[in-house]
Amino acid sequence: MTHGWRALPLVLLLISFSANADITDVDVDGASRVSGDDSPKVYGGALGNCTDSEPCNTCTGGLTACNESEIGDNVELTITFKSTSDGVPKLMDGTDEIASGTSVSAGNTATIEVDWVDICNHFDDDAGAACNAIDGEEAYTIGISENDDTTLDDSTSITFSIFSRMAANDTVVVGGDDGIDGFTLFPGDEKFYLEDLDGLGAFPSFEDSNSFRKIHVFFDEGDCGDIANVQNDSDLVSTKFEDDGETPSEDFYTGFDNGTTYVGKIALEDEAGNIGLFTADGDCDDDAHVFTPDDVFGVLDEGVNCFIATASYESGNHKTVETLRLFRSKLLLPFTWGKWVTKMYYRYSPLAANVIRDNPTLRWVSRILIFPFYVYASIALEIGHTLTLISFFLLLFFTMHLFKKVLRRENSF
């Protein structure tokens, strides 16, 4: 009997834990984007283009900012979840009720339906404002009220982030915008590489708020004379930014036809899925924004250890190899003669690489032979072929002239 009384506190503690309510299986429908699970963050991209009761795809042409799942005042948001309590499901802003649903029993799915305008009206700094007039974030609460009052007996947080600023910068990137000013689309084998991103303003931030989430390259066949055909509903490839907010997760994009010329422009997507800040048509550059994939570029794929430079340094990421690769991409492949040189190198290089790769002495000798090419490539990347060749010939001329002087002086003695 004594042991039974001693066990009573433990039993009461277990009962207390089992009585604690819990919110699970939270799901949100009718938003631009949702992240997180049982305490979700709900994004609404509100550009003033959607008047339906469901999110709209407003990327339908032109260069205006758009969203493939844009919300508006009339769009209905549906929140579902499960609870260990019986009662009325509610969405609360502190002690203010925003919306509620039908009473449910513990373990069953609770549903709250609310128009976005009712959520937007509760934003502290924009009380009563339409959604497309709001930029900001608010934390509310969802849960179960057992007595159908302002107290939630079982709850979890839900955060709403609404963004509309892209609409104010909806057409193209200009000097004061926080976007991409320069970039290069470099051809590959059935692909292109995105290089030389140059940011403007506060990039990668967007007006000191709301960072960019993705970068899109919209494209069409043709050159800069056809750039007006590239609009917000054109074909596109996309990638997310890394954690730094400015480095694309992918640097090449596949699915293009070799021998076909393409022209592209860039746009940025914010956290709420708003797409805007397009490259202006007048900024199109045939040398940077037009590309023609070709099978000669096939060996741009990294990780191939069958070429002399890579085999010599035992890594495709060595500084010398990267410099030679950049020299090839920038100063050889754009020219017909450069393509021919590259093809010859790729045809015969693997034979030598197979011998060099496993022989330390040959790797050392090969590095010595490669070094002059590395020096030339490094200088040419800075000042171009012409000035580099002139500099080398001048250096050779003065060296020979100095050598002759030394010989004459020696002969005079």
Res. 230 pLDDT band, cuts 50 70 90: very high
For 248-275, what is the mean pLDDT?
91
Residue 278 lies in a domain: yes
225 and 176 in a common domain: yes
Give residue 199's domain range: 171-295
49 and 159 in a common domain: yes
- By CB atoms closer than 10 A (0-12, 13-18, 19+), residue 382 is exposed
pLDDT at 37: 82
60 and 138 in a common domain: yes
279 and 179 in a common domain: yes
pLDDT at 197: 84
Residue 5 lies in a domain: no
212 and 162 in a common domain: no
User: Between 319 and 342, where is the model more confident?
Assistant: 319
Domain-terminating residue out of 166, 194, 214: 166
342 and 245 in a common domain: no
Residue 413 lies in a domain: no
The pLDDT of residue 4 is above 90: no
306 and 288 in a common domain: no
Residue 344 lies in a domain: yes
Taking a C-beta distance cutoff of 8 angstroms, is the pair 161, 271 a contact?
Answer: yes
Res. 205 pLDDT band, cuts 50 70 90: low
Residue 261 to residue 263: CA distance in whole angstroms:
7
284 and 306 in a common domain: no
pLDDT at 28: 97
Residue 123 to residue 162: CA distance in whole angstroms:
10
Domains contained in the chain, number: 3
pLDDT at 15: 40
162 and 30 in a common domain: yes
pLDDT in tens, 21-71: 589 999 999 999 999 888 999 999 999 999 999 999 999 998 888 999 999
pTM (whole model) above 0.85: no
325 and 359 in a common domain: yes
The pLDDT of residue 18 is above 80: no
pLDDT in tens, 281-290: 988 998 889 9
Q: What percent of the chain has pLDDT over 90?
A: 38
Which CATH number belongs to the domain containing residue 234 in this structure?
A: 2.60.40.10
pLDDT in tens, 131-184: 988 888 999 999 999 999 999 999 999 999 999 877 655 566 655 567 788 888
127 and 49 in a common domain: yes
pLDDT at 248: 87
Domain-terminating residue out of 295, 325, 351: 295
